[in-house]
Structure 1
Amino acid sequence: MSDENAASGDTPEVEIPVEQAVDPIEALRIENADLKDRVLRSHAEMENLRKRTERDVNDTRSYAIAGFARDMLSATDALSRALMVLPAEARTSGDATTKSLIEGIELAEREMQRLLAKHGVKPIEAEGQKFDPHKHQAMFEVPDPSKPEGTVVQVVQTGFAIGDRVLRPAMVGVAKGGPSHAPADEAIDKSA
């Protein structure tokens, strides 16, 4: 039966839509613009990756010793404390062995400070500065009306930084009760 319909022409013909004629030059221009956009984006992405990698390498180079330096600070502190607890008369009237021991401890402490500085580890200046919670750790407040409120008046332990990063904040005593150090619109965070 299907042969008869096909022979008699009873089957409806399916019309295939005629594609619109596309100008090959315009198609190539569109493709060229798309490829150019992709190349520019890839180039920008690679440039950003190069800059980010360069910054990461510089940070790693600068801060790679941060953990080691932090550990060395405790050894440096131990040498400083050893020198502080020695009585003054031991330095002046002690026997030659005691004087040599004291000189050796002083030499070791200076050398450790020099090596830390050589690798970018610097002490944080605190005394007389305005309290900065990013660099200082307040241990206590000192009632001192002669100093502006919020000023560091005593350093209990020196802080250190490597580059712009704090390795250890300075432990400080902060003035309380003096005139305001900052303008009235700036409030000092006393909760630190």
Structure 2
Amino acid sequence: MASDPTAGDAPAEMPVESAEDLDIRQPADLERQIEQLKAENADLQDKHLRAMAEAQNVRRRAQQDIEKERKFGIERFARDVLSVADNLGRALSAVPVEESLDPGLRNVITGVRATERELQSVLERHGVTRIEALGKPFNAEFHQAMMEVEDPSVPSGTVVQELIPGYLLAGRLLRAAMVSVSKGGPARTAEASNER
């Protein structure tokens, strides 16, 4: 007896399903589902765009932080080194007139001056620049007034003495110059007041 090729584990006939089992939907139901899927799609696209924008902002902020750290990472060290520069300057200003000194001491003073120049050069190479204050109009952004001096020969508000020099690090204030400011002299002109 020949075997039937259609015979096997599966039944020969499939039962007919009812309309409820086929999940036949009405056109209104399909349109409502399409609108719901479109809304979900729009929401997901919006979330995706926001996530991409946020990731880009995080990358940009990280790059700015790296650049800021590269520029200003030596700030604390530079402030500490400024006290060394101040002490070298004080030592040189306390030295009496060189002509009255013996040659050995003159050589020491020459060496200290060379050391001070080299220190200033190193600071400048790393973005630390000295604020020129003497003879300039007082600027509260860069100068700290320690005292006022009566001097009618100098326009009022002019820096007449620099007690401690000020410094900038990559254009940002590292330390304000401590200065004496004139008072009682003629008023500054508008053009002279705009100088730094």
Give the TM-score normalised by structure 2. Answer: 0.75
Matches within 5 A, 1:22-61: 23=31, 24-61=33-70
| Aligned match for 2:181, one of 151, 174, 186 | 174
1:80-105: CA deviation from partner (whole Å, max 9, x where unpaired): 111111111xx335333212211111
Distance 2:160 2:188 in 1: 13
| Aligned match for 1:125, one of 107, 132, 145 | 132
Indicate the SS of the match to 1:92: helix
Indicate the SS of the match to 1:21: helix
Distance 1:94 1:180 in 2: 44
Structure 2 letter corresponding to 1:40: L
| Aligned match for 2:151, one of 138, 144, 147 | 144
Structure 2 letter corresponding to 1:122: T
Once the two structures are TM-superposed, the CA of residue 117 in structure 1 deviates from its matched residue by: 0.7
Provide the aligned length of Structure 1 versus Structure 2: 163
Larger radius of gyration: 2
Residues 96, 145 of structure 1: alpha-carbon distance in 2 compared, 3 angstrom cutoff: closer
Any unmatched runs of 5+ in structure 1? 1-19, 184-192
Any unmatched runs of 5+ in structure 2? 1-27, 191-196
Indicate the SS of the match to 1:153: strand
Distance 2:89 2:121 in 1: 14
Once the two structures are TM-superposed, the CA of residue 22 in structure 1 deviates from its matched residue by: 5.1
Once the two structures are TM-superposed, the CA of residue 136 in structure 1 deviates from its matched residue by: 0.9
Give the TM-score normalised by structure 1. Answer: 0.76
Once the two structures are TM-superposed, the CA of residue 171 in structure 1 deviates from its matched residue by: 0.8
| Aligned match for 2:120, one of 107, 110, 113 | 113
Distance 1:126 1:95 in 2: 34
| Aligned match for 1:21, one of 24, 29, 33 | 29
The aligned counterpart of 2:172 is 165
Distance 1:182 1:102 in 2: 42
Distance 1:171 1:180 in 2: 22
The aligned counterpart of 2:10 is none
The aligned counterpart of 1:86 is 95
Which stretch of the first structure deviates more once superposed, 146-155 or 115-124? 146-155
The aligned counterpart of 2:6 is none
State percent identity of aligned pairs.
46
Indicate the SS of the match to 1:123: strand
1:128-186: CA deviation from partner (whole Å, max 9, x where unpaired): 32222221110111223343332222211111111232221101111212344376xxx
Matches within 5 A, 1:90-101: 91-101=98-108
Distance 1:22 1:175 in 2: 86
